[in-house]
Amino acid sequence: NFASRVGDLLWFSPLKVFQKLFFHTPLVKIFVAASDTYHDKYWWKKHGVRIFEEWKKENPWGRLWDNY
């Protein structure tokens, strides 16, 4: 995904000189906020709820989860 590619660029390419800037300063909060916005406010509502409901119906572990 996009985040993994950006992480790989900042970790394993010549751009790694920027690691400390992005991951050891308050700028890291931007990455956390972007992840929260995408995963919890967009992806979960658009895809995750449906996938989770199907899993609860079709998978023995999902049924156990639902009964817990």
CB 16 within 8 A of CB 48: no
- pLDDT for 10 beyond 90: no
Give the residue extent of every domain in the chain: 24-68
Could you read off the pLDDT of 25-48 as tens digits, one per residue?
A: 998 898 899 989 999 999 999 999
Average pLDDT over residues 46-54: 98
Q: What is the dihedral of CA 35, 42, 39, 11, to 10 degrees?
A: -40
Compute CA 41 distance to the chain's CA centroid, rounded to the nearest angstrom. Answer: 11
Segments in the chain forming alpha helices (H) = 2-12, 19-23, 28-36, 49-58, 60-67
